[in-house]
Structure formats: structure tokens, C-alpha cells
Amino acid sequence: MGDLAEFLSEHNQNFRKARLPALYSDFRPQRTLNPDGYRANIVAWQEALSCLSLRGLLSGRGPNSSLLVLNVDENLPHYLESKRFGQPLALGTAIRQAIAHQKFISVEEFLQPQASTFTRNLISLSWNAAEWTFRQFGIKDKISNDDSVPIGQYVIMDNVETVFQEFKQQVAGRTSHFDRIFTRLQFQSLFASTLVAGQCLSEDDLDVLLTFSSRDKGFIDYSGGIIRIRSSSDESSM
């Protein structure tokens, strides 16, 4: 395709022309030969996927398009293909690292009522600290010699946090008790098209945002299709 590669080269400093050969190469051997370069390439691709998803550039191809959930399939490397450098040869490694470090979390795991404390805490760890933690607990690295992309749907945590912060800002002025209570349909009507400029949250996005806002942030109560923004005086859920 080339259009997404061109977009990244024009809007993302990590994808300036001088870096493109390294980013599109099979940089996996750099993990031991040049760890800093390897990590820089990994982070660049992870941030690129987050950016493209939030701008609706990866998922605007059907009714299941999503800004917060990345759909990884065999077509993804093709979408990111560069006219000059071809498909990214280590994209699967970048995605696997994001999964291993809980930057990307499978939708099924994320929507579980009780999130895993251990894996959630890995999000806040530095690269070295997280890898050390994996080794201490006997968790093998999820990177393999096969760099095919890991098929699945993954919540992009950076995007969820970004949208949550915008939601929090938009409702800051709602002080009335009645202004802080919504049905899901009302919530969708009010916020789905306002939280990301020029984009609209999907049903899946709303599920993710509401789960994150209630379970992980304690910012709302969400029960029986009713959403209530909590106040500082709240001591219990509905």
C-alpha cells in the first residue's frame, strides 16, 4: 500500500527517512548486538501502531473498526508496507514485545471482571525491570524465531489512557447529580464522537473504556447498563 508508511514518515519523528531502513529490516539480531537500537525500533513500531489506530487509519475498513482495539491479522504487514523497503520484517516481534509487557492486552483478557494484578503492574515497569521480572517468575520470552504476527485483537493501553483522560476532562464540569448519570445509549450519544477528534468510538471501544474507567480507575460505577460518574465523597459502588 505505502500510504500508511508515508503518513508515518511525515508525521512521526521515529520514522524519519534515515531510520526507515532499520525499522523495515529484520532487526531481531540487534537484540544482543545492539540492544539500544533494538529497543528503539521496538518502541517506534509500538507507538506507530498506537498512533495509527487512534487516528482511525488501521481500522476504518468496516463496521468493526476500533480506535482502542488493534486487529492483528496477516494483512497488517501489508498495510504498513513501504514502497521502497517492503513490509516490516520484524513487526511480529514488536507486537509480541508489546503483549509481553502488557502494552497490548488481548480483548478477552482485558474484559475479565478481575484484572491480573501481576500483569497490570508490568505496564509501569521499565524495559529492563519487566524482563527481569519475567525471568524471576519463570515466564519465557514471547519472542520466537518465527516473526509472523500474533493473530488476535488487542487493547492498546496507551490509547485507552489517552481517551480516558479526555473523558475525565470533558465531564469535569458536571457537578449536578443528574448530570453525572447516563444510560449506555446516552453515554454513547454524548461521548462516542467527542473523545477523539474526527473519530467515533465503536461499541468495542466503549466496552473497553467503561471497563477501564470503572474497574481500573474507579472513576465511574457501571452496573445494569447505568453509568454514574463517581464523586470524591463516594465510598461504595451502586
CATH of the domain at 186: 1.10.10
Q: Fill in the DSSP letter of residue 202.
A: -
206 and 106 inside one domain: no
15 and 104 inside one domain: yes
pLDDT grade, residue 233 (50/70/90)?
confident
**pTM (predicted TM-score):** 0.85
172 and 151 inside one domain: no
Averaging pLDDT over each range in 118-122, 187-191, 234-238, which range is the top one? 187-191
- At 5-57, the pLDDT tens digits run 999 999 999 999 999 999 999 999 999 999 999 999 999 999 999 999 999 99
152 and 47 inside one domain: yes
Whether 133 is covered by a domain: the verdict is no
Whether 188 is covered by a domain: the verdict is yes
198 and 104 inside one domain: no
More confident: 93 or 143: 93
Residue 100, helix vs strand vs coil: helix
Residues 6+ away with beta carbon under 8 Å from 58: 4, 49, 52, 70, 71, 76, 79
105 and 163 inside one domain: no
Chosen domain end from 156, 187, 215? 156
74 and 167 inside one domain: no
- Give the pLDDT confidence score for residue 62 in this predicted structure: 46
H-assigned helices in 12-66: 20-24, 30-33, 35-54
Whether 127 is covered by a domain: the verdict is no
208 and 152 inside one domain: no
Residue 237, Cα to own-chain centre: how many angstroms?
28
- Report whether 157 contacts 123 (CB < 8 A): yes
Provide the domain limits for residue 208: 157-231
12 and 44 inside one domain: yes
pLDDT above 70 for 66: yes
Rounded to an integer, the average pLDDT of 200-206 is 96
Domain count, the chain: 2
- Give the pLDDT confidence score for residue 150 in this predicted structure: 96
pLDDT grade, residue 155 (50/70/90)?
very high
pLDDT grade, residue 231 (50/70/90)?
confident
Chosen domain end from 103, 131, 156? 156
Whether 193 is covered by a domain: the verdict is yes
152 and 107 inside one domain: yes
150 and 187 inside one domain: no
- Give the pLDDT confidence score for residue 83 in this predicted structure: 93
150 and 173 inside one domain: no
